[in-house]
Amino acid sequence: MQHMKKVLVTNYVHPHLITGLGELGYEVVYDEHFDPAELNTLLPELSGIIINTKIKMTAERIRLGNKLEFIGRLGSGLDIIDLPQAEASGVAVYNSPEGNRNAVAEHALGMLLCLANNIRRGDNEVRQKLWKREANRGFELDGKTIGLVGFGNTGQAFASKLSSWALRLIYNDPYLLDVPEYLSNITSTNINQLRTDADIISIHVQLTEETRGMINYDFLKKCKKGVILINTSRGAVVDTTGLIRALEEHHLAGACLDVFENEKPHSFSFEENQLFERLYSMDQVVLTPHVAGWTHESLYKIAAVLLDKIKGQY
């Protein structure tokens, strides 16, 4: 009797993915509270695994999974998978940035508008019965230059949201081959020109050794004074110490951050606590807990994209 191929799903997903994997003939082990410590024992039995950020598929784990046919990533970031080992082992790797790119784009725009119009501060003051109209005078995006660092799925989705606005869009992405026709109003530029021209810089890159710590104090000091930074990509792309220094010196006028170098506040070292308290005390920042791609709609879309890729239909 032939045993069914087994797929482990380690995070909360839309039922569409579980049902679809079952229809493909897989035995699905679905445990949204899966303990990563148990993974090595289970790996030799698996034909597939669906992961999110809590599990890293290291080279050792990929080798342990000697029956693995695929690794599925809920979302976009592939920094949690050893891609060279996956390729060497003949393991297909699927991610699903198409599933949450719209959510990320909407969130980035929402954070920017929140900062531009002092919405966070104004909301807090109104709740305290404070009525400070002049102190909360904002600024408009019309006429501004927005520079995108990275122009893949989320970068293009963000540009699409802004394409009908009266502003200038520029991007830098040395790996981009083709810009979609519907984004013909965006201009490619080198990183130095982007820093010179952009009033607002939005980061849309994968985390790699090349991009880790890329947005540091030196990078920000070379930007136009008064620039605003948006990061919805990966926390480690931005050096927190350099970011805070640029904010404290008012070279950087504001920041919208959905991702952070350490996203487990309970694990902060003494130094990290001091560092992040400086960030949290700033009025010119808008902060959210890595939820830019975390919508009810993206939950389904991520599942659908991943399933279609496993089927070979995407």
Q: How far apart are CA 201 and CA 52, in angstroms?
A: 27
Q: How far apart are CA 260 and CA 19, in angstroms?
A: 34
Nearest Cα neighbor of 52 from 31, 72, 22, 82 is: 72
Nearest Cα neighbor of 53 from 294, 239, 279, 230 is: 294
- Residue 283 CB neighbour total at 10 angstroms: 9
Q: Which residues participate in catalysis according to the annotation? A: 234, 263, 290
Name residues whose C-beta falls within 8 Å of residue 33's C-beta, 6 or more positions apart in sequence: none
Instruction: Specify whether the CB–CB gap between 28 and 18 falls below 8 A.
Output: yes
Instruction: Specify whether the CB–CB gap between 72 and 92 falls below 8 A.
Output: no
Instruction: Specify whether the CB–CB gap between 207 and 232 falls below 8 A.
Output: no
Task: Please give the backbone phi and psi of residue 238, each rounded to the nearest 5 degrees, phi first.
Answer: -105, 125
The single residue listed with the structure tokens 């239909």 is 313
